[in-house]
Amino acid sequence: MVLDLDGYLKFFTEYLKDLGVSGIYAEMLSVFLNGFIFLILLALLDRLLKRVIIEAFKIFSNKTKTSFDDFLVLTNFPRYIAHIIPLVLFNWFFTQLLDDYETTLYWLKKLLNIYVILLVVKIIRSILRTTRDYFQTKEQYFDKPLQSYLQVTMLFLWALGIFFFILELFDRDPLDFILQLGAASAIILLIFKDTILGFVASIQVSINDIVRIGDWITFSKYGADGNVTEINLATVKVQNWDNTYTTIPTYSLISDSFQNWRGMQESEGRRIKRAVYIKQNSVRFLTDDDLKRLKRIQLVAPYIDHMQKEVLRTNRKLEVDDSLPINGLNQTNLGVFRKYIDAYLYENPAINKDLFLMVRHLPPTAQGIPLEIFCFSKDKRWEHYEHIQADIFDHVIAAVSYFDLEIFEEPSSKDITNFLTQRHVKND
């Protein structure tokens, strides 16, 4: 075959000489024409191979059950593979064609080797992307930061590719280059500081399972409140509830404090923790008439009966002067109201009774006495949770007046106007 190629390569030389072209120019023109014709044929072969290999991959992938080969087609793996045969032919042909032109052949092979390095990187990148896309279709890998793993791997791959690129371009000794690279490590660390921090953070986030794709997080510092849609080397992408997107530096997930709602989503209920403020001057002891009236409220009637028996027994034992309610043990409207809310929550089917449930007083404030409800709803979906919480406090606010209590509220301009009007009428 080499002999046939030699004959082909000499064809244009002899033909040009017959046309009267001098020897050296005839050889140079022959090399140019042979190279040009071969490059055209090689380009046509490359296009043909790409079509054949891509179609062959599509047919093969349609017959297999796995989707891995489908993703290979989507990431251009067949297209990159198709370049291998033309590259081999290119190297073989131009080695023969430029045998007498050592300098030109030397630089041409350098360019070819650099292209081969680039092609190898692209092939490996295609396989890595295919692996990522394939694993993203598996349920057990859905919440894993596969994009971050891919970016870390690609960072090392491109660094390795650039390393071989420089070695090939400048004919450097690998060991000598590594030593010089080590001397410049301080500058490299400074330039790639954010990348290195992101790389370390992404590993810690993954190993410690700090955040997963699909987690609901609240990060007030960056205004993020929504679901994590992507975790990569540099940033974490969050889709907020208003459908806007917030990007958070990956390193912030281990350097700053944020709230991850995964524990709530995986638990048996979602916490309700809210208070109403009772006016302190509306709190009083209950009279016998008050107790008779409040016994008509079914949820609290058993408690009132039980507590009143305890009050009478204790006061009789201590010989308390019951002419004043402050003496001895007596029930208050706020205490009965608190027990009513407690009973109401236990009767509410939307509340999970297996989790913590409590109605408590908080320290008094300038706005009154905070009466806090602490419980868990069974339904954790946001819209249903808000409906459950709203229903509870609708009922609590409406029930306050039945216990002769008042809820604190800042006076509005209308309240002030009415007060001044009434005062003016009274003075008149």
- Tokens read off for 25: 């120019």
pTM: 0.54
Q: Mean pLDDT over residues 149-178, rounded?
A: 73
- What pLDDT, on the 0 to 100 scale, is given for residue 1? 40
* pLDDT for position 2: 42
Calpha distance 130→194 (Å, rounded) = 27
Question: What pLDDT does 180 receive?
Answer: 57
Using CA atoms, how far apart are residues 293 and 278, in angstroms rounded to an integer? 21
Tokens of residue 146, six digits:
């596969």
Average pLDDT over residues 96-101: 72
Which domains are assigned to the chain? 2-142 (no CATH), 143-148+169-266 (2.30.30.60), 270-284+332-413 (3.30.70.100)
Q: Edge-to-edge, what's the strand order for the sheet holding 369-377? A: 270-278, 369-377, 358-361
> Out of 238-247, 381-390, 405-414, which region has the weakest mean confidence (pLDDT)?
405-414
**Cβ atoms of 250 and 205 closer than 8 Å:** yes
**What is the per-residue pLDDT for 301?**
93
| Nearest alpha carbon to residue 243 among 225, 261, 217 | 225
- By CB atoms closer than 10 A (0-12, 13-18, 19+), residue 411 is exposed
Q: How confident is the model at residue 3 (pLDDT cuts 50, 70, 90)?
A: very low
Most confident of 32-46, 250-264, 324-338: 324-338
pLDDT tens per residue, range 191-230: 666 667 777 777 777 777 788 888 889 998 999 999 998 8
What residues are paired with 165 via a beta bridge? Answer: none
* pLDDT score of 358 more than 90: yes
Length, in residues, of the chain:
428
pLDDT tens for each residue of 114-128 = 888 888 888 888 888
Burial grade of 274 (CB within 10 A; 0-12, 13-18, 19 or more)? middle
